[in-house]
Amino acid sequence: MNKTIYMDNAATTATRPEVLEAMLPYFGQTFGNPSSIHGVGREARKAVEAARKQVADSIGAEAREVFFTAGGSESDNWAIRCACAAMAKKGKHIITSAIEHHAVLHTCQAMEKEGYRVTYLPVDEDGLVSVKDVEAAIADDTVLITIMTANNEIGTIQPIAEIGEVAKARGVLFHTDAVQAIGAIPVNVNDLKVDMLSMSGHKFHGPKGVGVLYIRKGVRISNLIHGGAQERGFRAGTENLPAIVGIGKAIELAVAELPEYAQRMTALRDRLIDGLTAAIPDIRLNGHRTKRLPANVNISIRYLEGESILMRLDLAGIEASSGSACTSGSLDPSHVLLAIGLPHEIAHGSLRLSLGMDNTPEEVETVISELPKIVKNLRAMSPLTPEHLR
């Protein structure tokens, strides 16, 4: 069988060989517990602290502001739950957007059950949050603003630095889910003026099950897991040593290669958008045309179901997604596509092609020639298709 064309890098990426190689010794001879006093323990501790520095240097932070977690979802949960808990005296109001990842949205919904008031800001038709709306939503009891850096479905990049400016001026904590942004666009915690930032190793060619929460020094947050003194007592549990080494290596490589990568992905992305738009009638691009992740393409193909397109693509050896990986398998249309104003029937026919470092121009051309054939074929069978498109 031929190698498949993998265009689902927003769901997860392949761990790159240099990262795997860096991790391997820590499954083997350097297996020590970083809390141990003896030699192999000290080796392990050194590796954890080296990875912490790699992460810190990559985002303009200090090593002591970097906390390892078990992934993006955990970082989001920690930031929201525990920053609010530490601020309980000030109030119980959270500001977020309607298009956040479920790791943020569902945590906010859980907070509502605990008596918090949550403002879910709307977005415009490109998926942009308005800075004015953020400012207008701030009240005396607002304790946290959490707005994602870039959207995982439609790729829209938010005005994080401007929101950060507002948050700072009003003395409100600001968290951003930067899971999709790391390795794709420049991310510097000081330029973005964020107090907390989440990332996830497997979204930038690192291992799964490891993430980071950046917490600016001076920010008060309660601890996530009680137990030992790991992560300065905030997140107990023996460190996932190989994965921590892996995320450190992966972010170092991603940031070093960022300019070249972004340029290459942008060219592939734009060719894909232009090629598909020219070859398929009645499709629309979702998300902002330019304030957009370099590797994200999201289109709605009218009169069709995203799932049936995905299955045909899979048969043709092309792996994509119809929304976020967590929502596929459910019949509800994506909350992100509904929030940008798409009617249900158009939201249902959407397709996300998320590129990655291994994709080639030839693969993009294959998709540009295969997808229109699949669409034509499916439209011929769909009762919704108007006569002139059959």
Quick one: 105 or 138, whose CB is closer to ligand PLP? 105
Report which residue's Cβ sits closest to ligand PLP. 72
- The region of 176-184, 254-262, 327-335, 340-348 touching ligand PLP under the rule CB under 6 A is 176-184
| Number of residues lying near ligand PLP (CB under 6 A) | 14
- The region of 54-62, 70-78, 284-292, 339-347 touching ligand PLP under the rule CB under 6 A is 70-78
How many CB atoms neighbour CB 64 within 10 A? 11
Given 81, 101, 302, 352, the residue binding ligand PLP (CB under 6 A): 101
**Rounded to the nearest whole angstrom, what is the least distance from the CB of residue 167 to ligand PLP in the complex?**
19
Does 179 engage in binding with ligand PLP (CB under 6 A)? yes
Contact 247, 241 (CB under 8 A): no
Alpha helices by DSSP H, the chain: 17-23, 39-59, 72-86, 102-113, 131-137, 160-169, 241-279, 306-315, 335-339, 344-348, 361-381
Quick one: 104 or 378, whose CB is closer to ligand PLP? 104
Structure tokens at 244: 């921590």
Given 32, 72, 183, 294, the residue binding ligand PLP (CB under 6 A): 72
Does 200 engage in binding with ligand PLP (CB under 6 A)? yes
Quick one: 184 or 371, whose CB is closer to ligand PLP? 184
**Rounded to the nearest whole angstrom, what is the least distance from the CB of residue 200 to ligand PLP in the complex?**
3
Contacts of residue 145, defined as CB under 8 A and 6 or more positions apart, other chains included, come to 94, 95, 96, 134, 138, 163, 167, 172, 173, 174, 175
**Rounded to the nearest whole angstrom, what is the least distance from the CB of residue 203 to ligand PLP in the complex?**
6
Quick one: 36 or 328, whose CB is closer to ligand PLP? 328
**Rounded to the nearest whole angstrom, what is the least distance from the CB of residue 184 to ligand PLP in the complex?**
11
Contact 164, 141 (CB under 8 A): no
**Rounded to the nearest whole angstrom, what is the least distance from the CB of residue 323 to ligand PLP in the complex?**
12
CA angle, 189 then 8 then 145, to 5°:
30
Phi-psi region of 357 (alpha: psi -120 to 50; beta: other; left: phi over 0): alpha
Does 71 engage in binding with ligand PLP (CB under 6 A)? yes
Does 211 engage in binding with ligand PLP (CB under 6 A)? yes
Does 180 engage in binding with ligand PLP (CB under 6 A)? yes
Quick one: 147 or 364, whose CB is closer to ligand PLP? 147
Angstrom distance (rounded) from CA 180 to CA 373? 31
Given 9, 13, 73, 146, the residue binding ligand PLP (CB under 6 A): 73
Element (H, E) at 196: strand 196-200
Quick one: 128 or 280, whose CB is closer to ligand PLP? 128
Structure tokens at 64: 């002591």
Contact 87, 93 (CB under 8 A): no
108 has catalytic annotation: no
**Rounded to the nearest whole angstrom, what is the least distance from the CB of residue 1 to ligand PLP in the complex?**
28
Beta bridge partners of 142: 93
Does 286 engage in binding with ligand PLP (CB under 6 A)? no
**Rounded to the nearest whole angstrom, what is the least distance from the CB of residue 371 to ligand PLP in the complex?**
24
Given 7, 121, 148, 167, the residue binding ligand PLP (CB under 6 A): 148
Does 9 engage in binding with ligand PLP (CB under 6 A)? no
Long-range Cβ pairs for the range 193-197 (8 Å, 24+)? 193/160, 193/161, 193/164, 193/165, 193/167, 193/168, 194/160, 194/164, 195/83, 195/167, 195/219, 196/79, 196/83, 196/221, 197/59, 197/149
Specify the DSSP class assigned to residue 323.
S
Contacts of residue 331, defined as CB under 8 A and 6 or more positions apart, other chains included, come to none
Binding site for ligand PLP (CB under 6 A): 71-73, 76, 101, 103, 148, 152, 177, 179-180, 200, 203, 211
Catalytic residues: 326
